[in-house]
């Protein structure tokens, strides 16, 4: 019965949005409602994560609820497995931290009125995307998330925001049209949109050849939402125009939803199909190289804090693509067991890196907002001296920046290390080289912000307008919360990686997912071809010492 509680991931933000709407004009009441529901959401997310990691049996680690008691694949299915539970857990903390920042930093013009209902509506769409069990409801969740983002995008309504909003809306409308078209074609060819049912068809080797071009087209749909090459052009000129809180929320969640869906679709649903993987994997790997390297080159050339951070979203997405591509790529020179382990570690590295980036990228955007509060600008040519004026902000920014660059023992290092190691094991040497070079250039761009913004003498508006509003305690608390979370991922990397590897195992071997959703009788007894070898030792995701579960 407790498994039906997962519907709260949709119900809680929806109720928060409705109540906040009725409290329109009463910002304090809206803030109270939001905090209560966000804390409750965090509690449900922690419960779900613990539950899926401690389960036992054939379908352990899978929470399923069939809406209206209609059996899958005919009804609406919501599912929480280790992958979605991890995403929900980190997302809930990020949303709580950004909300605290919003209610403490944003003026009534930005943070009052309809802003908070839109915030919860966006969160509802994001969480629905993580738990939906079919492609059509994934489309619905995307549209809810995007409608809220369209409205939040023009908060403040500066001319620059409006100009960039057109680009953002048009691109996403094109992507949504292509998505619903692909979903219709897949339904016409397979007779189902249920993820478990489609996975069963792919695992059983019954995927028709005619569906492969449609599946490849999904790479355009989700690639546009994730901002991969060559579909990234809308992002660099977009995120830096909005308030830092909104930019941080978007940077921490929206592109990561796209990366999550790419793992769900191309690794779990179609990863067992060699025909699909042989087409999609090379495209993803090439896109990963170009995305990460050209993205970081663009960041190094910028002189605005939020522009640098915006372009870094693109370069960091390249690492996520790297793990996804390695997770489904053809591997030569390794035994079947070694191939399976390498793919498992690559997907686990991608999952870990997504979680790390959700926290750190959001944290850096919030730091950028506090820099504007202190100096009146985020133009590196017009600010400086923040090390003395805001030492706590300087310390928090440095930790987050070094984590993004991937310096040990911070969280960014471990995700990159696993991805680089597996790319080398799979003889993807060019991918390895570009990943290392991107990390070094990321460090260079972060040191550039530190040198100009914190270390250099005060200049520009910092000197001319000493009355610039300083950061409030709420803003620093939000940043500190995210930094502590990021530090826990670095110093507790083994525990986080164990859970990420457990999630990767569930994605690469989807039979428990199929059994939980469709019933044990529908789960294929074996995986096809290379995936028939299943590792005998399974990690206990809650063991920090690498203990194995037999």
Residue 517 lies in a domain: yes
Residue 275 lies in a domain: yes
> Residue 537, SS3?
coil
Residue 539 lies in a domain: no
Could you give the C-alpha distances from 458 to 111, 162, 380, 385, in angstroms and in order?
Answer: 30, 32, 11, 4
User: Could you write out the DSSP letters of every residue in 266-327?
Assistant: IIIISTT-HHHHHHHHHHHHHHHHHHHHHHHHHHHH--BHHHHHHHHHHHHHHHHHHHHHHH
Residue 318 lies in a domain: yes
Residue 535 lies in a domain: no
CB of 490 closer than 8 Å to CB of 403: yes
Helix residue ranges per DSSP H, 2-113? 8-22, 27-53, 82-105, 108-111
| 415, burial (CB in 10 Å: exposed 0-12, middle 13-18, buried 19+) | buried
Distance CA 328, CA 476 (A): 41
> How confident is the model at residue 110, as a pLDDT?
61
Distance CA 461, CA 9 (A): 44
CA-closest candidate to residue 76, choices 147, 149, 139, 126: 139
> How confident is the model at residue 355, as a pLDDT?
96
CB of 327 closer than 8 Å to CB of 271: yes
CB of 303 closer than 8 Å to CB of 379: yes
Distance CA 456, CA 263 (A): 43
The domain in which residue 124 lies consists of 2-530
Buried b or exposed e, range 361-399, using 16+ CB within 10 angstroms: bbbbbbbbbbbbbbbbbbbbebbbbbbebbeebbebbbb
> How confident is the model at residue 542, as a pLDDT?
46
> Residue 541, SS3?
coil
Residue 547 lies in a domain: no
251 Cβ contact partners less than 8 Å away, ≥ 6 residues apart: 239, 309, 310, 313, 361, 362, 365
**pLDDT tens digit at each of 550 positions of the chain:** 578 889 999 999 999 999 999 988 788 899 999 999 999 999 999 999 999 988 644 446 789 998 877 887 888 999 999 999 999 999 999 999 999 998 888 766 565 678 889 999 999 999 999 999 999 999 999 999 999 988 887 766 666 667 777 777 888 888 899 999 999 999 999 999 999 999 999 998 889 988 989 998 999 889 888 888 777 777 777 777 788 888 889 988 988 999 999 999 999 999 888 888 889 999 999 999 999 998 899 888 888 888 899 888 989 999 999 999 999 987 777 788 888 899 999 999 999 999 999 999 999 999 988 888 888 778 888 887 888 888 899 999 999 999 999 898 999 999 999 999 999 999 999 999 999 999 999 999 999 998 888 887 776 555 444 445 666 778 899 999 999 999 999 999 999 999 999 999 999 999 999 999 998 766 676 665 444 334 333 444 544 444 433 2
465 Cβ contact partners less than 8 Å away, ≥ 6 residues apart: 376
Q: Considering its fold, how many domains does the chain have in total?
A: 1
Query: pTM of the predicted model, to two decimals?
Result: 0.91
Residue 541 lies in a domain: no
Could you give the C-alpha distances from 453 to 81, 158, 371, 458, in angstroms and in order?
Answer: 43, 25, 8, 9
> How confident is the model at residue 534, as a pLDDT?
40
Residue 494 lies in a domain: yes
CA-closest candidate to residue 384, choices 457, 280, 447, 317: 457
């Amino acid at each position: 019965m407790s498994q039906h509680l997962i519907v709260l991931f949709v119900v809680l933000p929806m109720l928060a949005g409705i109540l906040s709407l009725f409290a329109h004009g009463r910002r304090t009441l809206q803030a109270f409602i939001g905090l209560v529901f966000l804390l409750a959401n965090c509690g449900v997310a922690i419960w779900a994560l613990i539950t899926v990691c401690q389960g036992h049996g054939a379908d352990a680690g899978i929470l399923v609820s069939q809406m209206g008691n209609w059996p899958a694949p005919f009804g609406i299915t919501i599912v929480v497995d280790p992958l979605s539970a991890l995403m929900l857990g980190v997302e809930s903390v990020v949303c709580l931290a950004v909300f605290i920042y919003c209610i403490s930093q944003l003026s009534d013009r930005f943070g009052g009125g309809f802003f908070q209902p839109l915030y919860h509506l966006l969160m509802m769409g994001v969480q629905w995307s993580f738990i939906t069990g079919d492609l059509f409801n994934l489309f619905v969740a995307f549209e809810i998330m995007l409608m809220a983002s369209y409205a939040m995008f023009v908060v403040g309504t500066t001319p620059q925001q409006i100009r960039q909003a057109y680009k953002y809306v048009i691109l996403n409308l094109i992507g949504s049209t292509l998505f619903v078209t692909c979903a219709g074609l897949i339904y016409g060819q397979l007779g189902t949109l249920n993820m478990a049912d489609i996975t069963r068809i792919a695992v059983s080797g019954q995927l028709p050849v005619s569906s492969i071009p449609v599946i490849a087209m999904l790479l355009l749909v989700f690639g546009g939402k994730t901002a991969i090459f060559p579909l990234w052009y809308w992002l660099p000129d977009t995120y830096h125009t909005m308030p830092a809180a909104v930019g941080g929320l978007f940077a921490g969640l929206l592109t990561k939803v796209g990366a999550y869906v790419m793992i769900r679709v191309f690794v779990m649903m179609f990863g067992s199909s060699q025909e699909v993987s042989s087409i999609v994997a090379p495209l993803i790997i090439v896109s990963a190289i170009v995305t990460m390297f050209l993205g970081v080159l663009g960041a190094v050339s910028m002189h605005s804090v939020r522009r640098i951070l915006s372009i870094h979203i693109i370069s960091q997405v390249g690492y996520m693509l790297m793990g996804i591509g390695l997770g489904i790529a053809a591997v030569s020179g390794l035994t079947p067991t070694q191939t399976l382990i390498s793919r498992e570690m690559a997907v686990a590295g991608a999952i870990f890196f997504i979680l790390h980036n959700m926290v750190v990228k959001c944290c850096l955007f919030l730091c950028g907002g506090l820099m504007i509060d202190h100096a009146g600008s985020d133009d590196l040519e017009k600010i400086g001296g923040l090390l003395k004026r805001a030492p706590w902000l300087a310390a928090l920014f440095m930790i987050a920046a070094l984590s993004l660059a991937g310096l040990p023992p911070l969280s960014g290092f471990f995700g990159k290390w696993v991805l680089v190691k597996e790319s080398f094991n799979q003889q993807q040497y060019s991918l390895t080289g570009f990943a290392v070079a991107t990390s070094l250039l990321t460090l260079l761009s972060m040191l550039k912000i530190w040198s100009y913004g914190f270390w250099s003498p005060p200049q520009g508006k910092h000197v001319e307008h000493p009355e610039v509003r300083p950061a409030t305690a709420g803003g620093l608390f939000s940043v500190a919360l995210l930094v502590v979370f990021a530090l826990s991922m670095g110093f507790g990397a083994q525990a986080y990686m164990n859970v990420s590897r457990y999630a990767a195992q569930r994605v690469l071997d989807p039979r428990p997912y199929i059994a939980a959703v469709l019933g044990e009788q529908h789960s294929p007894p074996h995986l096809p071809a290379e995936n028939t070898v299943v590792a005998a030792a399974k990690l206990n995701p809650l063991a920090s010492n690498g203990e194995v579960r037999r």
